[in-house]
Chains A and B, each alone.
Chain A
Amino acid sequence: MPAIEVEGMERTFEGDVRAVQGVDLEVAEGEIYGFLGPNGAGKTTMVRMLTTLLLPTGGRATVAGHDVVREAPAVRRAIGVALQEAALDPLMTGRELIRLQATLHAIPRDEGRRRADSLLERVDLTDAADRRIGTYSGGMQRRVDLAAALVHEPQVLFLDEPTTGLDPVSRKGIWEEVTSLNREGTTVFLTTQYLEEADQLANRVGIIDNGRIVAEGTPGQLKAEVGHPHLEVTLADGLVEQAERVCATLGKPLPSKDGKVLIELEEGAAGVAAVVRALDEAGVLVESLDLVKPSLDDVFVEKTGYHLEADEEETGEQEAPVEGRGERA
């Protein structure tokens, strides 16, 4: 039985805003599924439907074998949820939060206290456990949020952009924790707008754009689908046109970038020597060569027509207001 099974899921908001449009996906037990897409693509709306926080307007989904609409309480018992930007009360202490979460899941008082202590230790927050969460750093807040989501040992863990806004060290800490949880058997559904995060963590990746899944597979499969490695040639003498003419005979020419000549090589590294020889014979001086393997960004470009991370830089933390509320779609 899949941990998550989604068929034709849809969500339309007032004003005919179609945040999710007929999404189908399946997540196997014990898998880390990365849901990758830019802001406003429909990631959070999808997570909110799968975690019973929002009713779908079409399609169906089961989580841990339970229908998210008809068996919502059973779904809630089976899942752990850490939502975008950590839904935390800054006035509570870390220990109070995790104990409250234990109470919400009907864990007996003494057992809840024991698990809270153990989880605080696991996420390295024992020393800060009795400080108010408002005094925590961003990384500490994500860690306490993650710990709270784990208090009832969920079968499926939903992490909505768990590292957005974190520094690289904190991000790596969260990645290690997610990997460790997955090794212990927890299925993880992770949304992210970071290509590297999806690449590093996910067994399989679904790319969502404008509410539709445009590609799905393992990171390796997706990269293989978009083509072969390409060679970036940096010239010492600036003879770009001549270099392009030479390279065009040895592989598929790509648009040059930052003065570099780009060529797709069907045979990968094995084709580099021929390029070097041809350029040398043509009298073109080469400063450096880089063989670049396809990345998830290439996949993203292939499927959507634009760069995910470039889009982030251009749009910043743009939000898609939904239903009069500052909720990211």
Chain B
Amino acid sequence: MRSRLTANLRVIFALGIRSVKQTFRRPQLMAPIIVFPTLLLAIQTGGAGGAVDLPGFPPVDSFLQFMLAGAILQSLMLAGNSGGIALAVDIEMGFTDRLFAAPISRSAIVLGRLVGTSVLGAFTAVWFIAIGLIFGVHFEEGVLGVLVAIVLATLAGMAIGGLGAAIALRSGRASVVQGFFPLVFVVLFLSSAFFPEALMVEPAKTIAKYNPLSFIVEGIRDPVISSFSASEIGAALLAIAGLAALGLGLSAAALRHRVRTGG
């Protein structure tokens, strides 16, 4: 039993490493994760910096301090999408058949992919925190706050990756997963990632209030712009757990369908 668990963990780890290498070796997967969010961060910070003076805007030192969490979340969403595309490419070229024909747990195949997405999540968090530090952002909760933000981003990366994996497993086509790219921006703009919920108008305000991404971004933002809040971080963890359960459930169903029908 224990040796089987060890073997599965080895497989998950090996597939996770492959997934990260695959992303770094394929620029079209890496570019959206880093380049787009960095550019958007630069444009929004430069163009909408005055928003911090609006009544109802959370107390922050700078718009960049507020925006870092949004950029991290955007990057995580795009990492999840890229991870889904990479998995769909694996299906299209038959690489997943190699994995399915091996004596490993089917869930290890999905979990390996998600480990890769979570590593990318940690990487993107470090990237944007480094940008923040370079441009003088003060992290209210210091090193511990930075670590909490990275951990939350890592977990969120895994959860969001589950959704990308589910779409990939169900459709088996990279073009279908890629079609969800615009949706990433829709759900992000309907959350508090780029703008405080308090300043939104209806119906966006209500949608943002219940959007799980809002809970996640507020959890990452909390230690950056203020002191720790157990409720914010707890809500973020719950939202991550909910998305993870949804993604893994859908992935498992898609896997079963794939084996039953062969496509």
List chain A positions with a Cβ less than 8 A from chain B.
13-14, 45, 48, 51-55, 73-74, 76-77, 79, 81, 83-89, 91-92, 96, 100-101, 103-106, 132, 148, 322-325, 327
Contacts and interface: CB of A to CB of B under 8 A. Distances in A.
A77 B26 CA distance: 32
A279 B25 CA distance: 72
Contact of A322 (B25, B26, B93, B263): B263
Given A91-B25, A323-B262, A104 B102 contact: yes
A143 B73 CA distance: 43
A243 B263 CA distance: 58
7 contacts: A13-B261, A81-B101, A86-B94, A88-B93, A91-B26, A104-B11, A106-B3
Contacts of A45: 262
A76 B94 contact: no
Interface in B133-188: 172
A87 B99 CA distance: 10
Interface string B7-19: 1001100110010
Contacts of A322: 262-263
Given A87-B93, A87-B97, A89-B95, A14 B102 contact: no
Interface of B: 3, 7, 10-11, 14-15, 18, 21-22, 25-26, 90, 93-95, 97-104, 172, 259-263
Nearest to A19: B262
A105 B102 contact: yes
Main secondary structure of the interface of B (DSSP, over half): helix
Nearest to A54: B262
Contacts of B100: 52-53
Given A55-B259, A76-B101, A323-B261, A88 B11 contact: no
Contacts of B172: 325
Contacts of A48: 262
Nearest to B96: A87
A323 B93 contact: no
A327 B10 contact: no
Q: Which of B26, B102, B260, B261 has the most CB of A within 10 A?
A: B102
B103 A73 contact: yes
A54 B260 CA distance: 6
Given A106-B7, A327-B262, A52 B90 contact: no
Nearest to A51: B101
Given A105-B103, A325-B172, A87 B98 contact: yes
B1 to A, nearest CB: 14
Contact of A77 (B18, B99, B103, B262): B103
Contacts of A91: 21-22, 25-26
Contacts of A324: 263
A116 B109 CA distance: 22
A322 B26 CA distance: 30
Contacts of B262: 13, 45, 48, 53-55, 322-323, 325, 327
Given A73-B103, A77-B103, A81-B98, A103 B11 contact: yes
Contacts of A51: 101
B90 to A, nearest CB: 7
Contacts of B14: 100, 103-104
A327 B104 CA distance: 24
A55 B18 CA distance: 28
Contacts of B259: 53-55
Contact of B93 (A73, A76, A89): A89
Q: Which of B26, B94, B101, B260 has the most CB of A within 10 A?
A: B101
Contacts of B261: 13-14, 323
Contacts of A132: 25
A104 B90 contact: no
Given A77-B103, A101-B98, A106-B103, A55 B21 contact: no
A83 B26 CA distance: 24
B25 A104 contact: no
Nearest to A132: B25
Contacts of B98: 81, 83, 87, 101, 104, 148
Contacts of B7: 106
A148 B99 CA distance: 12
Q: Which of B93, B260, B262 has the most CB of A within 10 A?
A: B262
A35 B100 CA distance: 23
Nearest to A74: B103
Nearest to A148: B98
A96 B18 CA distance: 9
A85 B104 CA distance: 23
B169 to A, nearest CB: 13
A91 B26 CA distance: 8
Contacts of B95: 87-89
Nearest to A48: B262
Given A88-B93, A92-B18, A104-B104, 9 more contacts: A13-B261, A54-B259, A74-B103, A76-B101, A83-B101, A86-B94, A91-B26, A148-B98, A324-B263
